[in-house]
Amino acid sequence: ALVSAAGLGLVDTRAAVTADPSRRDPDELRALAERAGRELEGAPALEIARWAAETFGDRFCVTSSMADAVLAHLVSRVAPGVDVVFLDTGLHFPETLAVRDEVARTLPVNVRSIRPRLTVGQQDGEYGPRLFSRSPDECCQLRKVEPLERALTGYDAWAAGLRRDESPTRANTPVVTFDPRRGKVKVNPIAAWTQADVDAYIGRWNVPVNELFRRGYGSIGCWPCTRRTGAGEDPRAGRWAMFEKTECGLHV
Ligand code: SF4
């Protein structure tokens, strides 16, 4: 069931489902993903999103960090009512939650805010305070990776807003691939877009965008692990800047 909370934010209280009988065979999904990855390389982002929406129907969702609403907006044009999964870690900037609420209020999508099993206070009690400053991988596992896996139950495919120009670690991002860890198809419709493409889309469609970009942040995650970036730095240089860590573990 979905219950209203935090204004227009929605808190998804669905319990984890361990068995999903209507789920498609992972080997079939893998073959589908590999073929689509080849055939859709170079296709416009909207066509990639349309393929996913038509192929998977309501077993397809979008994930969004609410840095901006470009992907949610794009997919909503071919799949109005699509689920948009947001991982509400409890450690987001207020500006990020404002984008989440604006998306829920203004776009034809169904925002699902997924919370970790432990509140920040409970996690402090079990693991000690400021786990992010000592063991960010463990913190991301608890507050992002496990919640995403729980959230993706019931879907065969999910879309993410990864782009090749964001960082060297994302330079080979395929437009469609198979995620073996989760046994699902992962769709990256805007993988080939540049920052200029994103900016043009935001301007053309007046898409909600996180206020923090205007204040010098190149990439936006939880507040304890995000700093402003300087001129010439890659946009993700401000994430986990104290650690040899560039990804939270969602995109493996
Ligand atoms: Fe924890 Fe930082 Fe990961 Fe957020 S980004 S879950 S605060 S380690």
DSSP string across 75-128: HHHHSTT-EEEEE--S-B-HHHHHHHHHHHHHSSSEEEEE--SS-HHHHHHHH-
User: Nearest residue CA, atom 4 of ligand 1?
Assistant: 222
61 a known binding residue? no
Condensed to tens digits (0 to 9), the pLDDT of residues 88-146 reads 999 999 999 999 999 999 999 999 999 999 999 999 999 999 999 999 999 999 999 99
Q: Is residue 6 part of a domain?
A: no
Q: Is residue 113 part of a domain?
A: yes
Answering whether pTM is above 0.90, one says no
The Å distance, Cα 120 to ligand 1 centre, comes to: 11
Kindly report the backbone phi and psi dihedral angles of residue 85, in degrees, each rounded to the nearest multiple of 5, phi listed first: -90, 125
Kindly state the DSSP code that residue 16 receives in the 8-state scheme: P
pLDDT tens track, the chain, 252 positions: 233 333 344 555 444 444 565 678 999 999 999 999 999 999 999 999 999 999 999 999 999 999 999 999 999 999 999 999 999 999 999 999 999 999 999 999 999 999 999 999 999 999 999 999 999 999 999 999 999 999 999 999 999 999 999 888 899 999 999 999 999 999 999 999 999 999 999 999 999 999 999 998 988 999 999 987 777 777 666 665 666 656 666 776
The Å distance, Cα 250 to ligand 1 centre, comes to: 12
Number of domains in the chain: 1
The Å distance, Cα 76 to ligand 1 centre, comes to: 28
Best mutation site among 88, 91, 93 for ligand 1 pocket (most ligand atoms within 8 Å of CB): 91
Which atom belonging to ligand 1 lies closest to the Cα atom of 142? 6
Catalytic residues: 248
Q: Is residue 63 part of a domain?
A: yes
Give the pLDDT confidence score for residue 83 in this predicted structure.
Answer: 98
Q: Is residue 117 part of a domain?
A: yes
Q: Is residue 135 part of a domain?
A: yes
Q: Is residue 13 part of a domain?
A: no
CATH number at residue 111: 3.40.50.620
Range of the domain at 110: 23-215
Q: Name the region of 73 (left: φ>0; alpha: ψ -120 to 50; beta: rest).
A: alpha
- Model ipTM over 0.90: yes
User: Nearest residue CA, atom 3 of ligand 1?
Assistant: 140
User: Nearest residue CA, atom 6 of ligand 1?
Assistant: 140
Q: How many helices (H) and strands (E) does the chain have?
A: 9, 8
Kindly state the DSSP code that residue 205 receives in the 8-state scheme: H
- What does each C-alpha distance from 140 to 24, 121, 147, 157, 224 come to in angstroms? 28, 15, 10, 22, 12
Mean pLDDT (the chain, rounded): 89
Q: Is residue 163 part of a domain?
A: yes
Helix (H, G, I), strand (E, B), or coil: what is residue 48?
helix
Say which amino acid occupies 152: L
Q: Is residue 33 part of a domain?
A: yes
The C-alpha atoms of residue 199 and residue 48 are separated, in whole angstroms, by 20
